[in-house]
Structure 1
Amino acid sequence: MQLISLDQVFQILKPGVPLPFGVRDAAGRLLLAKGLVLHDQAKLLELLNRGMFVDTEEVKRSAPVRESEAVQRPLERFSSRWDAFLRKLGLLLQAPGDPSFLKQVRELVVQMAGCTDSCTDQMIFLIVRHDYSQTNRYTEVHSLHVAALCHLVSRRLGWSDARRLSLIGAALTMNLGMANLQAKLAGQRTPPTLPQRKEIEAHPLVSVELLRAAGLKDEEWLLAVAQHHECPGGGGYPQQMQEPGEMSQLIRFVDSFTAKHSARAGRAKQPAQQAARELYSQSGGNPLAAALIKECGIYPPGCFVKLASGETAVVTRRGVTAKEPLVAALTNAQGEPMARPVQRDTAQPARAIVATLADKDVTIQVSVDQLYS
């Protein structure tokens, strides 16, 4: 039996239609039999988020042409789509005056939401493992990461499709008014100068002006952009609002969370658990921050961990519980590299996670293609 992750054939599954193949755990044990009917999309997405697997032969037998092609779809297609999103967003942020700007942003919003829904664990993995030393792309990388996580959290919270799309749009365009400066600051080792500080403080409203000039009339989107640096009680900027809107606050928490996961000039990347603890504490236990942490898990995909077996591993998929993700062992108990990553289920006591590891403590090069092929 050869297993592949469910997300590689997820597009085949439809609510109310019998499963065309069985759904299995990482060990190949059958959890849901072929023919079972799941009546709503939420149940299907739950399977995806739990990191389930399918047998390639069973998938091929279920529909010889279309599904077998889907089985062969490698992660490169996800990676290439993600890179295409980055390139497109980078161009858009430099051209808010283009007549087709708003149309292209809306297209990107829909495309990105679909990609994030079908490849959730890969997306989180790429966010956590992204090489932020490429500071010239920091603006579009950070905005895309924030938008993707905002989409996942709002889905968890049960927001309507229309509202989620407005949220993604706001996250993608929140820094439109300081796109060039943000890229420069990512590689700058000194504190912002006074002129830079003024530009930073003004950028939410400048971004709104640019969006209105482009023809945007979605007021919730515009308010979220205007308020994404506001804090309850008046501690934010630029208007020191007492009660900023919910959408802006979700963006603010995700913005902070992704920044903690990124290394920049003069600032080291934080380990996953530390980033989660700090965010929850700094938010005062805000339910939006709690939902974000639950969505990513205590050990998000891309996080390096030490197992009870002594092996060093990288998290590849969130598990049934936050403390029991699926991982790929990179070294054996003696610290020797594996010939190729080996899947481990941390729900098993012998493979339980005993510690998180900083990036500097892991010298093994992680191949995304090997982990998700």
Structure 2
Amino acid sequence: MLFHVTLLALLINSGAFFSNPMKKLREKASGIFKSKYGKGKALHFLGHDLSEYPGSNPEYININKEKWEEYYQCLLKQNESLGSRLSATPEAVLGFEGNNIKLMCKMCLSPQERQKADSIEWEWAPQEAKQFQPIDLTEHVVISPVDKTLHLYNLQTEQTGQYICRLGESLTAPYFVTVVNISDAELNEVHTPKAPLGPYPTEADAIEEYRLILDTEWSPWSVCSTCDKIGRKHKLGYCTIFSNANKEVISAASNSTVNETEFTSEVTPVDLELFTVFKYGIPCRSHILSPAVKNLPQVIARKNEIMIGYCKVECPKEGVFELIDKDGKVIEKANNSAGIYSLMQELPPLEPDVARILIYAAKGKPVVLSCPG
């Protein structure tokens, strides 16, 4: 009898012995996966997002449904962009030296593949290169950890080339980026169409002989130059060439004042084939355009534009830190907007060092100053 009691006690204690290590193991596994994949999500102890296997939980079922619908919408848009040639649509992008651009990674990831998002990489090939290479990240070349968008700040002409987003063997359609020196690009200043006085943006123009359309693609507005009073804002307009098969026909006749008998370049069918592939148009100064197209009189005559507008925005409210006692009385105030902080606050990060660049220029010659940050 004593033997049976002892054996029963041993079995009961052994259950407790194994349960505690298993519990610790689950907690450890959960902690590891949360630190790797968590980012605030609700995770199973094995590391997967709970919404991937929602069971009967209505909240997770809805989240799961929304994620898959978003994924299918992304696939639908990709499929629509393939066109009759069943090929992904590349994009040609123009940037001015010293300015910034961002390139979105247009890759559709299923909810199950989103954990692999950290493995997405950007590669590029300089203008004369024959193969892609990984992009070196610097203070001016940044990849967003949220959506993997590539941000290129303080553009330089040597960054002209081809850019792609990659996940394993999957590639997105490439971007063909051309960076031009702003001093070499003539910019016509224009006003908004609602302004009482011009000059106004140039209207779209047709090159009927080659079934092409010249138009202006506009960047977003810049931030207002000041706040709480009327300031100025601007946006850049890039001369862009489209095939009229990819853009609504603007008119039956050309708006150009250039005499079409002045053509000195011979545009070949191969040159025009490029515009059927680049459905979103190609900037007039892009490096992928043939010299024959660039030298068309209408293309030479059309300039990039900078639109100036007026704006008025509110200034940010002053940040005042208040220290309140247990009775609700304010015992200390610190105007953070003026750079004053309480000893009870965490100090803000230090401002970056001022970047200084020495430039030598010839007297009487133009010089371009670009922000180095």
TM-score (norm 2): 0.20
- The structure with the largest helix share of the pair is 1
